[in-house]
Structure 1
Amino acid sequence: MASICKPPESLSFNGNVSQNWKEFEEQLIWFLEGTESSEKSDMAKIGIMLSHAGKEARDVYKTLQWEANGDDKKFNKVLAAFRKYCSPRKHILFERYTFWNIRQEEMESVDAYLTRIRLKLEMCEYAAEVCQDLARDKFVFGLIDDRTKERLLCEEKLDLSTAVAIAQRAESSGQQIKEMSTTTHTEINIMQRSHGQTNQTTYCGNCGRQHKPRQCPAYGQECSFCHKANHFSRVCRSRLINVSQQKNSQVNLRNSLTAGRKVQEIEQSENVPNLSSEDSQDLFIDPLQVDGLNKSQSWFANISTIGGQLYWKLDTGAEVSVLPAKLYEKLQPKPSLKQTSMKLTAYGGTSIQPISSCQLTCTAPDSANSKTIEFYITPVDAQPILGLTGCVELGLIKRACPIQVSSLTKQILLEKYPTVFTGLGQLGTYHITLHDNHQPVINPPDKFLTHLKSSYSKHWSEMYVQEF
């Protein structure tokens, strides 16, 4: 008999110790009954228990406090002492938290889901009179099938047994419908093949969808990328080739960082810091591309460097100078590359990870003054940017002296601009306190959803009429 009974696993004092002891005690009782050891002496049963409980349990047994002499040799007293030792380690709040977070898992049956709820509910120590209602609520809330859940919520007087019966019927009918649907589809496909029909859906390279022959939704439509007919822009071959070329350009440049060691070593000058060992920093740059912006509103300059002149955007709001990878590949001879851990942040919070950095000798237009400027190479296909430091070093911009206004007072402003401080939406009396180390910042404009544009426009028109 003893050979077919599996002994209990060792008692674990990690995690939920109270539940671990409960499971161990249950296995121990069944093991004693199965091996016909329940009628043995107390010391024999204690020996069986401690031999299977493990070393940590035996150490606990040596430190337990007994109410009377000889209790350590009584099996029931030993069980009660271990039960008391493990009970304070039970976390009721955590057990209830895990109970209310139970959800039916994918491919889990209704019966298995209900069993998990009942087992966890026993460990929560709720009052007996509310356990049925709590089990019903948790059962309904955690169902994975929304249609079954909706069906249960429509019941006015719903108890646990009714909810389980409805869910079981829904589960059984769902499996039957799935089998019937599979059989029906198989029969239809066999009939289609036997009659030689070719009405099956296939993938279409003009619209990117699956449809029947001669039913392409892209037929007669114009591509928004290449402006050719009968295909959508998302599957436009010209667009895909362009994207592929850009990706290959980035990959080739990244490979030059590793393979370049075989054809050229990365030069490190005493006057140039080693960016490969620097700490990661965040630097701010202006947006690399702004749709709809007239170039006449920005500053540009033709700056001479190796390989000829490049048309640079002068951006005093950028802390670094940026060179797109596409332009770097056109430089001849190519300057040495250096690894960098810098992270660039564009206006609006967009993060750009540069591929590497290099040093270029630049000469300003109409000037013989040349300076060596550091550029960060980015995978973005955009206008090259000459940042604040580069503009200053090449003498393209100069710092203007601030204008001093000594006679401006609060009373003068109130008298000169009275309409600004009166009426709806006008400035009143406010008190604003700034930190001593506060740095001014320009935030991007707020955004709103496109479908709310008409509502905003109507509201703005009303504010305009009210001279807001």
Structure 2
Amino acid sequence: MLHCVGEDALEIYNPLSIQYADAQAKKMEEVLTAFRQYCAPRKNTVFERHQFWAYKHNEEAGIDKFVTDLRLRARDCEFGESEDLMLRDKIVFSIADHRLRERLLSTADLPLHKAIDICRAKEAATMQARAMAPNSSIEEQLVHAVSNTGRFAKYAKPQPNSARVALQEEWRTRACRNCGRLHKPRQCPAYNMDCRKCGKKNHFAAVCRSNPDVALVEAEAPDVNALYIAGISRAHKGNSRDTGWSSSLRVGGTLVTFKLDTGAEANVLPLAVAEGLPMPLNMQRTDTVLVAYGGVRIQPKGVVKLLVQARRKQAQLYFFVTDASDTPLLGRQACVQLDLVRKVEALARSAPATKQDLLQQYSSVFEGLGEFPGEHHIYTDPKAPPVIHGCRRIPYSVYDRLKDTLDDLQKRGVISRVTKPTAWVSSLCITEKRNGSLRVCLDPKDLNRAILHQHFSIPTPEDVQGKLAGKTIFTILDEKDGYHQIKLDDESADLCTFNTPWGRYRFHRLPFGIKSASEVFQQTNSEAFGDIEGVSVIADDMIIAAASKTEHDSILQKVMDRAIQLNVKFNKDKIQYMVGRSDTWATSLVPLE
């Protein structure tokens, strides 16, 4: 046998100390036993028992599967005669249903087989109850709601304080679903704003929950005999407001006012109007169904062919007669036939050729102080003690210039004087800009410790680098006054009170120095301009990058229109218009010409 097993087996055999029963007559069975002992895995009873007690019960798999797995694991634990007791204890410990566990614990001298039977009975009862009442969860909620509004509900002890605390904690820590920011109740900046993604109101595009069209996997089969019309409506007395385009046309010598609907696929004539025409109607039966807005299906009374005369043209048109509308409707094809509407391939403003043309064409974007929609609220830790700083000494060389700067900021509505007591008062910090003007900032060292961070990712130049690949034309815009384009609510303005030699002032716009200012400003800009393809925003700098002049002009027009819509202002002195490279932070990103 040793001759046949090979060199690897001999290397194992040679160091083995085999105790033969008869050294003179060695038996092959003794050698095989030694090999089995060598190859058998070494067991660690402590580890196996740890694995046994750590094993978790999967309720979906059922109690029988759980018991089987436990028996397999118990084989290596060497429980001996106490194995059934260990299995029973493990079952009781692992049951998640507290009522079932109470029943097991309340049973005296509980053997293993009885514990298993109780668990099986509970499993079966649960499955049968679900089968009998598929909506049990909803019914349970309704029953619970009714029980809470019963005759004894009025005697329940109210807990207004805990509810108020929970509500305050929620809006402090949970971002709003409509704007993505933290704010007080009923102060959402997205209120009454149009979403640029779905067109609906009261939310921003960044948090729009509408499903994109590409996610559609299957759709209802179209009806070949259905025509879409969106303009079905009934007239309302006393409402003379113009709700769309209309035109008066002659039908058989009678003047009829039609609503022009280029989105409709058919012409519609109300039954009352059709019966009032002077000529006889040769109405024919039709199987075509009209589909109005919202999917409402309308079965016409019939279809007629009538001669319709406009100013320059006339045409024989088919009309679906229905009593579901009071307004005659002319569809897209008929409007084109009668030359009432024309298709315009392109309608665009001429793009500014130079920087000066840009400043003239969009002069309002470069004048005054901008203001993003909504008000920002600065959140603070309510446990942080307020701190009041005294007034710092101002160098005589900037004394007069500082007073002029404060007067200018007050005139523009950035700051205002404060006479009432405020809990927080910060020191004033002055920096000088490149053009020699002064920038008034807060030194909110203590206030920043109390401010809660509003986390938002700020892109780095490296993050933007990939977007600029293959682009050859660039325009760099700088938002004028940066943070000051974000308005603060009244409570946050009080937090931003500061001392000066001429008394206290407070900021009504987001000041420089607040630790959350950069994230807030980046988030606001991203929501305002981030959805425009070809635009990259870092802080108050905006890069428009394009591969051609046509593409560049299209992106620039979208940015300018958006700025007008949101009342955002740019700095006309820092524009770099249609350049091949930039001397700002984007220098390393923009390729040389």
The answer to which structure, 1 or 2, has the higher relative contact order (CA under 8 A, 6+ apart) is 2
Higher helix share: 1
Higher strand share: 2
- TM-score normalised by L of structure 2: 0.28
- TM-score normalised by L of structure 1: 0.35
